Amino acid sequence: VMLNRAEFHSIELGLRIETDLYALDDFHETWAVSPGESIDLQWIPETVRAFSVKKLNLRGTVETAELPRQLRSLDIFGNQFTGTFSLENMPETIVHINIGDNRLEGSLVLAASLPCLQILIAEKNRFFGTLDFSSLPPKIRRLQLSRNGFSGSLCLLAVPKSLFDLDISGNDIVQDTILVASCVLKMSCFGYDLQKIRRLVDPLGNEHLSKD
């Protein structure tokens, strides 16, 4: 799939059924593609603010430095994208990133300078290495990192109060005790492996035991 550089604000890719190309309006373009095709994301027009291509088994890499600099939403969930994914090179305007259920690998630097980022879904990939929560994006609300290969020690004392949904389950993080900020204990959803993390300790030294 080769994307032309016309002026659109939103692009969505869907299944090819009867037509190859159809437009919804002047600022939203929908391309129909066949599952399993390769796609080159560097051809996304610079005017695009939202790009969505979900559950189409598409192949390719994600060169984040080549994405439109005004992009606010990137959703490539449920494909076969490979290679690394650099949060550091994402546009500073990005608010929503869903790269879940792909074959992306390498480390994931969470301390990227992304002042607008609120949602990062990176579950079900092949990321590995340690996770640094010491300098998360200030507006982050949802962080889904489950079912990867992350390992090493973990500290959650510096997570921002804006974060209410965090999932680190299904990784290789084995740690008897994790230091956590008080806001972590108040999250609406905090997913971790009970068998690998035995207790959480808040800033006052209070222990919160995991229950099998």
149: in domain: yes
- For the residues 179-200, what does the mean pLDDT come to? 95
Distance CA 194, CA 89 (A): 34
Q: Given a cut of 80, is residue 53 above it in pLDDT?
A: yes
182: in domain: yes
Distance CA 109, CA 130 (A): 9
Distance CA 123, CA 149 (A): 10
Query: What's 35's domain CATH number?
Result: 3.80.10
- For the residues 4-16, what does the mean pLDDT come to? 49
Q: What is the pLDDT of residue 15?
A: 41
Distance CA 68, CA 81 (A): 18
Neighbour count for residue 88 (Cβ, 10 Å): 11
What is the residue range of 71's domain?
10-209
Average pLDDT for the chain: 86
Q: What is the pLDDT of residue 112?
A: 78
Q: What is the pLDDT of residue 43?
A: 85
4: in domain: no
172 vs 8, more confident: 172
Distance CA 33, CA 120 (A): 26
5: in domain: no
The number of domains in the chain is: 1
1: in domain: no
pLDDT tens across 112-169, in order?
Answer: 799 999 999 999 999 999 999 999 999 999 999 999 999 999 999 999 999 999 999 9
pLDDT tens across 19-45, in order?
Answer: 233 233 334 555 556 667 888 898 888
Q: Given a cut of 90, is residue 17 above it in pLDDT?
A: no
